[in-house]
Amino acid sequence: MRLAALAAIAALVAAPVGSLAQGGGEEATPAPKGGEAPSTAPKAGTASKPPPPAARDLAKALLTEDQWNKVLDSYASSLSGQVSQSLLSSGEKVPEDLRPTLRAELGKAMPYQQTIQAQAEALSKELTPDELKRTAQFYSSPLGRKVLEKLPEAQASVAQQLQGRLATAVPEIVNRVAPKAMQGSPHGGSPGGPAQGRRPPAGSTTQ
């Protein structure tokens, strides 16, 4: 799986991991209304209950341990470069073992099993046990694995095309809808024509 897909996986699991670190994946208790005393009674359905096996199977199918290790490897390399630049700019020496040390610390902070547990808990809240089982079976199949591998690349290609189209379309749309908003903008004026809204006030003279 290429780095584009790994980046997509990292984004996918980032939220569940964060919520797990802040409280085991449980929902935050809403603020009391109108001065009411906060309730200490557990909310119905929020008791610590392990997700069904199908949820863990699906979580593992969506993110294998090898893929997670590649995500952490890539992030450790990026983080190492940033830390190295910061140290050098401050006149400090860069430790020779900086990258492997950061990688080891990332592995401790975000272990694979904890990530899978958080993902399984999130999935079990959104899908029924039967849906979890059927979805896990699909993504564990050769076709499902191919979808996981190729989908991020396809999405990246589409995003690049849309970005190019928006770069041209947005200034044109704004120029038609609110031309005064384009004053002073490098895209000011109608496409292919003179800039609009830049005439000097009546009666003024140019220096």
Structure confidence by residue, pLDDT tens digits, 11-35: 444 433 333 333 344 444 444 444 4
Q: Which residue has the tokens 């199918």?
A: 61
pLDDT classification of 183: cutoffs 50, 70, 90: confident
Confidence (pLDDT) at 55: 95
Task: Map out the domains of the chain as residue ranges.
Answer: 3-21+50-179
Q: What is the pLDDT of residue 187?
A: 53
Judged against a pLDDT cut of 50, whether residue 57 lies above it is answered with: yes
- Specify the range with the lowest mean pLDDT, choosing from 44-58, 129-143, 161-175: 44-58
Q: What is the pLDDT of residues 122-145, one digit of tens each?
A: 999 999 999 999 999 999 999 999
- 3-state SS track over the chain: CCHHHHHHHHHHHHHHHHHHHHHCCCCCCCCCCCCCCCCCCCCCCCCCCCCCHHHHHHHHHHCCHHHHHHHHHHHHHHHHHHHHHHHHHCCCCCCCCHHHHHHHHHHHHCCHHHHHHHHHHHHHHHCCHHHHHHHHHHHHCHHHHHHHHHHHHHHHHHHHHHHHHHHHHHHHHHHHHCHHHHCCCCCCCCCCCCCCCCCCCCCCCCC
Q: Is the pLDDT of residue 206 over 70?
A: no
Whether the predicted pLDDT of 38 surpasses 70: no
CA distance 94 to 80: 10
Work out the average pLDDT over 68-72: 95
- Averaged pLDDT of the chain: 77
Range 47-73 average pLDDT: 90
- For the cut 50, the answer to whether the pLDDT of residue 41 exceeds it is no
Q: Which residue has the higher pLDDT, 49 or 105?
A: 105
What average pLDDT does the segment 174-200 reach? 63
Examine the pLDDT at 159 and tell me if it is beyond 50. Answer: yes
Rounded Cα gap, residues 169 and 162, in angstroms: 10
Among 76-80, 119-123, 137-141, 175-179, whose mean pLDDT is lowest?
Answer: 175-179
Question: Would you place residue 85 in the very low, low, confident or very high pLDDT band (cuts 50, 70, 90)?
Answer: very high
